[in-house]
Amino acid sequence: MKYISTRTGEVINSSYEAILKGLADDGGLFLPENLPIIKFSEEEIKSLNYKFVAKKVISSIFDDFTKEEIESAVEGAYDTFEDEILPITKLNNNYIMELYHGKTLAFKDFALSILPRLMKISIDKLNLKEKIVILAATSGDTGSAALSGFSNVEGTEVIVFYPTEGISEIQRKQMVCLDAKNSHAVAIKGNFDDAQSALKNIFNDDDLAKSLAEKNIRLSSANSINIGRLVPQIAYYFYSYYELLRNGEIEESESINISVPTGNFGNILAGYLAKQMGLPIDILICASNKNNVLTDFFNSGKYNANREFYKTNSPSMDILVSSNLERLLYLIADKDAEKINNLMKDLKEKNSYIIDNKMQENIKDFKAYYYKDDEILENIKETYEGYNYLLDTHTAIGLMAAKEYNSKNKTLVASTASPFKFPKAVSEAISLEIYDDDFKTLENLSVKTEIEIPQILKDLEIAEVTQKRVIDSNLIKETILEILGE
């Protein structure tokens, strides 16, 4: 498979190179030259399991990996999950995809458990002697999943930047308590967009790249700008659809909708790519919090990040610049890289851009809604009281959007994190006592709901803090060099 940059049409000739580069030299994002159409036979559906689906989907795009390489990567990645990798819970006409049964209790584990394995295979395949330095910005969940996934992976160093405020205490401890020689969590006095913008500038710094190359160091990304993170996410839409079919919840070829709580746009983009690969998805519902830049974009055709940034009770979605939207723009612009390059220039210079009428017509299969904190809490309460089912704040947004669209189609709702990662907000929603200590709140939430705390979080309470760096956001480049001993 060849990969093409969204900005100049730069071509990369192998999956290995695209995964290791992360970002194109022109600052664009890679997409496969062509997306394959995938179908499952009756026999495959009867014996469906997650690993099989992941192998089939991932190998159809990363087709220059051998069968044995994909099998090894998939088996190793999803052996780290609970026995049931992806449970699906029915709530009337909506089906909750519980994407949080991995090591860090968030959907990012699906991609960040396999990305380090794909990178290691790529390093060996290309016979590289360089150290691969993985950089990531996080609004909460990517950081812990990246640090966990790359922990002690030979030939790599991973550095994650996260905001000092706006993430939950549990999200923070998942990052700062990880004790691995090659892993570094750095707090910044700023927000996710500050970190993401700084890292993009670093990836586009030719002088820095040249200097590091002389020392056998190559930079790559663990954010969803990396095609190695995006492709594994496509698999869970295929699995969920065919699991509904296998269980008689839908008929053969019946179209469904998907509703995705959306921040950086990677998760819902994976659903869009699944649709392009033949999965019968009708409408893609983009669900946002009070940082509703995507809602306005889909409803008006104008992307405008010139607005107030809000810290909400769904912090993983507190984002104003959604990087993966660039890939969608490229596809709806009929792969016109020059047009996308101009839009991205406008975003950099004006913090906004407007798409043309044809592109607006091409996003008619997206619907977008947003919700405020109090509405989110109310939905968690209603769902718990009505179904005895506990949502986290992000999943509540996805479920509300599915209900608001109110389609006759069945809807898959992406549940992106365990409710126990946000115990204070969830406890507030169902009128339980809240303590200053997240872990005391967590224990109370477990007792009152009679739902057991995941063992991962029990262990985290007593874990030692090993990462203590706190920096100004304008010192990210200097901090990277300091960590690398430069």
Domain count of the fold of the chain: 1
CATH of the domain at 279: 3.40.50.1100
Q: What single-letter DSSP state applies at residue 216?
A: T
- Residue 438 located in a structural domain: yes
- Residue 73 located in a structural domain: no
* pLDDT for 152: 82
Q: How far is CA 344 from CA 11, 84, 273, 305, 325, in A?
A: 19, 41, 21, 12, 11
Structural domain range at position 358: 88-105+228-455
- Cα–Cα dist 222/228, whole Å: 8
- Residue 94 located in a structural domain: yes
Q: What is the pLDDT of residues 70-123, one digit of tens each?
A: 999 999 999 999 999 999 999 999 999 999 999 999 999 999 999 999 999 999
Give, to the nearest 10 degrees, the angle between helix 373-387 and helix 393-405: 80
- Residue 17 located in a structural domain: no
Reported as a pLDDT band with limits 50, 70 and 90, residue 486 is low
Pairing assessment for the beta strands 3-5 and 11-12 based on DSSP bridges: antiparallel
Who's near 364: CB < 8 A, 6+ residues apart? none
pLDDT for residue 439 is more than 80:
yes
If residue 405 lies in a helix (H) or strand (E), which one and from where to where? Answer: helix 393-405
What integer best gives the mean pLDDT of the chain?
A: 94
- Residue 314 located in a structural domain: yes
- Residue 408 located in a structural domain: yes
Neighbours of 345 (CB within 10 A): 12
Mean per-residue pLDDT, 338-351? 97
In what side-by-side order are the strands of the sheet with 217-221?
217-221, 131-137, 156-163, 183-189, 470-472
Reported as a pLDDT band with limits 50, 70 and 90, residue 180 is confident
Reported as a pLDDT band with limits 50, 70 and 90, residue 129 is confident
- Residue 216 located in a structural domain: no
- Cα–Cα dist 281/256, whole Å: 5
Mean per-residue pLDDT, 203-209? 87
Q: What is the pLDDT of residues 237-288, one digit of tens each?
A: 999 999 999 999 999 999 999 999 999 999 999 999 999 999 999 999 999 9
Mean per-residue pLDDT, 2-14? 95
- Residue 348 located in a structural domain: yes
260 phi and psi, to 5 degrees? -130, 120
